[in-house]
Amino acid sequence: MIKALRTTAALLLLGASTLAATASQADTANTPTTATIHADTPGPVYDKDIFTQFAEHLGEGIYGGLWVGKDSAIPNTNGFRNDVVGALRDLSVPVIRWPGGCFADEYHWREGIGDPKNRPVKVNTHWGGVTEPNAVGTHEFFELIRQVGAEAYVAGNVGDGSPREMAEWVEYMTAPAGSLADERAANGHKEPWHVKYFGIGNELWGCGGQMRAEYAADVTRRYSTFVKTPAPDLMNGKVDNKLLKVAAGANVEDYNWTETMMRIAAPTLDGLSLHYYVHPAGGWPPRAEPVNFDESGWADALHEAWRMDELITKHSAIMDKYDPKKRMFLAVDEWGAWYKQDPGTHPGFLRQQNTMRDALIAAINLDIFAKHADRVRLTAIAQMVNVLQAMILTQDDKMVLTPTYWVFHMYKPWQDATVLPIDIKTPTYTVGKYTLPAVSGSAVKGKDGKIHVSLSNADATKANTVTITLDGAKEGKVSGTILTAPAINSHNTFAAPNVVKPAAFNGAKLKGSTLTVTLPAKSVVVLDLQ
């Protein structure tokens, strides 16, 4: 997890790649938004792994949120909650990052294998000082992967682990034969698992070791050398179990870190991470209220969300110097909003309620990732269940889906779709000292052959009419879905789980090559054109 300082840098005007906002100071109610979608000049693929989820041993993210144990009265399959797993399957979660986060920096994988009754009970020194039973280890994680239908992003321990420990973990997970494969089989799983991504440490500049950039780059190069999967069995035509190595990248605007990693360690890597959290109300430590905020608090958070575009642009430019063909990807594998914890919750558990404001933060970020889809091919919102900007909240046997969950659900057609460049000219939305584009959006051609368009209106009180020109698209039909709510701080609770939930949208009209959409205040809309 990141401890990032809030920036007050001015919002830059966004270029016309996939998301462009040439903002004026006009009033939103009087100046409509215009846009052009270039369906005749398709862009890169919007990799489905941009929808990766993050599950850390933190608070009730694992225990209680995902895992209840095989003997629990809560309906489960091999210890994992059926309701939560079902909701994640409905979300088409492509990848799950585990076991951290800072927890990974002190995680020793051998403590999480074998008979659960014989596993050591440790103290989670990062998150709350509570006991960690090691009930969920490697085998359990891959059972979760199987149930959700996702792939694995495993974060290795560079903080206080050794290259040998990391190499043996990879061998234990992926080797088809040998002593570690035999040990894996003795523990209940004969066949090797597929590990798509492996993190060479986490936040080496912080909880992963407080390293300097040059030292971290050398350490990364060393550890990465020993992280390897078995070679392909060419005689039998078996496919190599290749994994993609992701280095611990920069904290927010630490561009020197990216420069140093790329200069020293890039040849040994496939990806480089970036961590950025929205910290409204003055930065670190988190002091913004998750629910009891006014329109200034709303605008503050959304203004900070737009900072992601500047960060990706500048970090990508550095990567371009060393990797102009974009072999490596930028993995924004921790992002989202970080507020004060909900009142009465355990210190260090980072549980916070999720409102309509978080829905807009999610939509803005997903649109920004579309703009940078040539370099950004993996991101992981923090986190999946019960922690920070979560998809799902649980309490005992109850579960509720958050506004952020529903945005991810609405954007499912973006997974592995082709980005269609969209130029958006929108007025600004201003509250006090915070100014940001009123409308955000992105467009893709989905695997289903349809054009899908997202539009969100950040204005908390005024509607916005958007007129879109479709270049290269044929006339057809339009249908849509909207997520909005009675108030900017509307949220779902166990007593009222459907306050913020998608509904059919009929505010769009398609005539010839012109699409006209009226966006209500504080809304996210996804349109399907066919």
Is residue 203 among the annotated active site residues? Answer: yes
When comparing pLDDT for 405 and 27, which is higher?
405
Work out the number of other CB atoms within 10 angstroms of the CB of residue 346.
14
Q: What is the pLDDT of residues 143-157, one digit of tens each?
A: 999 999 999 999 999
Phi/psi of residue 326, nearest 5 degrees: 60, 45
DSSP letter for each residue of 388-407: SS-SEEEETTEEEE-HHHHH
DSSP single-letter state for residue 51: G
Predicted pLDDT of residue 303: 98
**Which stretches of 52-102 are DSSP H helices?**
82-90
Residue of 353, 351, 285, 350 lying closest to 489 (CA atoms): 353
Predicted pLDDT of residue 1: 53
The tokens for 25 are: 């100071």
- Residue of 151, 171, 203, 304 with catalytic role: 203
The dihedral sign for the CA sequence 23, 359, 272, 230: negative
Position 23 pLDDT exceeds 60: no
Q: Residue 383, preceding bond cis, omega within 30 degrees? A: yes
Q: Cα 435 from chain centroid?
A: 25
Phi/psi of residue 246, nearest 5 degrees: -115, 120
Coil vs helix vs strand at 334: strand
Predicted pLDDT of residue 229: 80
One of 3.20.20.80, 2.60.120.200, 3.40.50.300, 3.30.43.10 is the CATH number of 33-529, namely: 3.20.20.80
CA angle (240 as vertex; 236, 243 as ends), nearest 5: 165
Coil vs helix vs strand at 422: strand
Residue of 320, 336, 310, 468 lying closest to 391 (CA atoms): 336
Q: Residue 101, preceding bond cis, omega within 30 degrees? A: yes
Burial 315-326 (b: 16+ CB within 10 A, else e): bbebbeebbeee
Are the C-beta atoms of 1 and 334 separated by less than 8 Å? yes
Confidence band of 31 (pLDDT split at 50, 70, 90) = confident
The tokens for 473 are: 């698209």
Are the C-beta atoms of 417 and 447 separated by less than 8 Å? yes
Q: How far apart are CA 131 and CA 359, in angstroms?
A: 33
DSSP letter for each residue of 247-300: EEEEETT-HHHHHHHHHHHGGG-SEEEEEEEE-TTTSSSP-S-SSS--HHHHHH
Predicted pLDDT of residue 45: 98
Predicted pLDDT of residue 241: 66
Residue of 382, 324, 443 lying closest to 100 (CA atoms): 382
- Residue of 56, 60, 143, 334 with catalytic role: 334
Query: Where along the chain do its domains lie?
Result: 33-529
Coil vs helix vs strand at 371: helix
Q: Please, what is the angle between helix 403-410 and helix 356-371, to 10°? A: 30
Strand pairing report for 95-98 and 122-123: unpaired
Instruction: Give helix then strand counts, H and E, for the chain.
Output: 10, 28
Q: What is the pLDDT of residues 299-339, one digit of tens each?
A: 999 999 999 999 999 999 999 999 999 999 999 999 999 99
Are the C-beta atoms of 414 and 444 separated by less than 8 Å? yes
- Find all residues with CB under 8 Å of 162, minimum gap 6, and list them: none
Predicted pLDDT of residue 238: 57
Residue of 204, 208, 145, 132 lying closest to 173 (CA atoms): 145
Q: Residue 285, preceding bond cis, omega within 30 degrees? A: yes
pLDDT, average across residues 398-421? 98
Give percent helix, percent strand, percent coil of the chain, each to the nearest 5: 25, 25, 45
Confidence band of 24 (pLDDT split at 50, 70, 90) = very low
Question: Scanning the structure block, which residue is given the tokens 């035509």?
Answer: 237
**Which stretches of 411-476 are DSSP H helices?**
none
Strand pairing report for 478-483 and 434-437: unpaired
**Which stretches of 44-150 are DSSP H helices?**
82-90, 138-148
Are the C-beta atoms of 261 and 220 separated by less than 8 Å? yes
Q: Cα 483 from chain centroid?
A: 19
Predicted pLDDT of residue 283: 82
Predicted pLDDT of residue 2: 42
Q: What is the pLDDT of residues 374-383, one digit of tens each?
A: 999 999 999 9
Q: What is the pLDDT of residues 79-98, one digit of tens each?
A: 999 999 999 999 999 999 99
Is residue 334 among the annotated active site residues? Answer: yes
Confidence band of 233 (pLDDT split at 50, 70, 90) = low
Q: What is the pLDDT of residues 172-195, one digit of tens each?
A: 999 999 999 999 999 999 999 999
Are the C-beta atoms of 424 and 35 separated by less than 8 Å? yes
Q: Tell me the chain's radius of gyration from C-alpha atoms.
A: 23
Q: Cα 523 from chain centroid?
A: 21
Average pLDDT, the chain: 92
Predicted pLDDT of residue 234: 45
